[in-house]
Structure 1
Amino acid sequence: MTHLSDKELLEMFRDNETRSYAFNLIVRKYQERIYWHIRKLVVHHDDSDDVIQNTFLKVWSGLDGFREDSQLFTWLYRIATNEALTFLKKKKNKHMVQLDDIEQQFASSFESSPHINGEDIQLKLQKAILTLPEKQRLVFNMKYFDELKYEEISEILGTSVGALKASFHHAVKKIEKFVEES
């Protein structure tokens, strides 16, 4: 049953008798990918858990209105991205700190992470990504780590493919410069 197509899952969701089961299958199918997408944006595990919970609450309440104009995955990513960006804005406003301070906290959390060796190029890459403007960081993460096509990112962010290519190009150049200088 775990190999059901999105179309089959949506049909099951629309049937009141299988609604909860279908939603559970949707969550299981996409939870890990959505979690890591959110985690790259908000960095901290606990924050990521909060954002993913909010994401799937919104998915539950909005799935009846999903018109299937895009893929289910793309729709989920859009919700997750918006929730992560909303979380970051609230965090910034709540703590009344500069974005640079938040980015410094994120960089410190990478250094103390048991998953990243301090000598590792991964640490440099993550620090470089944190120096990017929000839009470039988002596009870079979605293209490089999530391996999404520009067309998919365009659907998720509502931005033209050309603008996304330019954002990715600028992000790569800034990351290269950061790595060379550090």
Structure 2
Amino acid sequence: MSKDKELVKKLKNPTLKDKAFSELLDVYQERLYWYIRKIVATHENADDVLQNTFIRIYKSIQNFQEKSSLHTWMYRIAYNESIRFLEKNKKINYNNIDEVSESHLEVLFEDEYFDGDDIQKKLNKIIEGFKEKNKRIFQMKYFDDMSFRQISEILEVSESTLKSSYYASVKTIEEKIFL
């Protein structure tokens, strides 16, 4: 049985739920934070949305039908909470152009009506033009969905350097993808 399936089983057991939820936080809190942060932009907003996301997860776990992975289900809740937050506040504040670029790319790539075949080819071509270190960082973050902390440990590079490289890569992709 996979770790996530085991965790879901514990979360649905009333006697194990609180301990399992603490385990869930340890595994997913940072990853969900950064996912939310890309959408709502600021740290304060991301913290609020993250808290609401985990409250919804805690209250809704009994309704989780396991048709998708736990990871996918939680990310969907995080996305919905982020959109709810933005609609409630009727504004989007971005701290810098890299956050705008990443947000717009993410929305484009997640649109179910968007035909990504040509874009995917162009994306791969752009990535191939990156320096080897930048290519690895981007691929680990974007394709492998690794946290900056995980990438930092693997590549033995500081998290701030990784973030700078990743967001510069995202900006380059956005500039070149529609040329």
Is TM (by shorter chain) over 0.5?
A: yes
- The count of aligned residue pairs is 128
Amino acid at match of 2:44: D
Deviation at 1:89, TM superposition (A): 1.1
CA distance, structure 2, for counterparts of residue 57 and residue 34 of structure 1: 13
In structure 1, what is the equivalent of residue 34 of structure 2? 36
Deviation at 1:138, TM superposition (A): 2.6
SS in 2 for 1:53: helix
Alpha-carbon RMSD across the aligned residues, in angstroms, is 3.2
1:46-61 mapped onto 2 (5 Å cutoff): 46-61=44-59
Deviation at 1:175, TM superposition (A): 2.0
In structure 1, what is the equivalent of residue 63 of structure 2? 65
In structure 2, what is the equivalent of residue 27 of structure 1? 25
CA distance, structure 1, for counterparts of residue 107 and residue 53 of structure 2: 17
CA distance, structure 2, for counterparts of residue 27 and residue 175 of structure 1: 33
In structure 1, what is the equivalent of residue 99 of structure 2? 126
State whether residues 53 and 77 of structure 2, in contact with CA within 8 Å, keep that contact through their aligned partners in structure 1.
yes
Deviation at 1:27, TM superposition (A): 1.6
CA distance, structure 1, for counterparts of residue 118 and residue 43 of structure 2: 27
Cα distance per residue 1:57-94 (max 9 Å; x no partner)? 110111001010000000000000011111111111xx
1:1-182 mapped onto 2 (5 Å cutoff): 5-92=3-90, 102=92, 105-106=93-94, 109-110=95-96, 123=97, 125-129=98-102, 132=104, 136-140=105-109, 159=112, 163=114, 165=116, 175-176=174-175
State whether residues 41 and 138 of structure 1, in contact with CA within 8 Å, keep that contact through their aligned partners in structure 2.
no
SS in 2 for 1:70: coil
Task: Give the TM-score of the pair, scaled to structure 2.
Answer: 0.60
Structure 1: 5+ residue stretches without partners = 93-98, 111-122, 141-152
- Change in CA separation of 1:17 and 1:52 when aligned onto 2, cut-off 3 Å: same
- Change in CA separation of 1:129 and 1:87 when aligned onto 2, cut-off 3 Å: same
- Change in CA separation of 1:12 and 1:175 when aligned onto 2, cut-off 3 Å: same
CA distance, structure 2, for counterparts of residue 31 and residue 21 of structure 1: 15
CA distance, structure 1, for counterparts of residue 37 and residue 6 of structure 2: 29
Task: Give the TM-score of the pair, scaled to structure 1.
Answer: 0.59
Structure 2: 5+ residue stretches without partners = 124-171
CA distance, structure 1, for counterparts of residue 117 and residue 6 of structure 2: 37
SS in 1 for 2:68: coil
CA distance, structure 1, for counterparts of residue 8 and residue 107 of structure 2: 28
CA distance, structure 2, for counterparts of residue 164 and residue 89 of structure 1: 27
- Change in CA separation of 1:168 and 1:66 when aligned onto 2, cut-off 3 Å: farther
Identity of aligned residues (%): 35
State whether residues 42 and 88 of structure 1, in contact with CA within 8 Å, keep that contact through their aligned partners in structure 2.
yes
Cα distance per residue 1:121-162 (max 9 Å; x no partner)? xx5x434446x4xxx54345xxxxxxxxxxxx6xxx7x36xx
- Change in CA separation of 1:32 and 1:129 when aligned onto 2, cut-off 3 Å: closer
Deviation at 1:164, TM superposition (A): 5.9
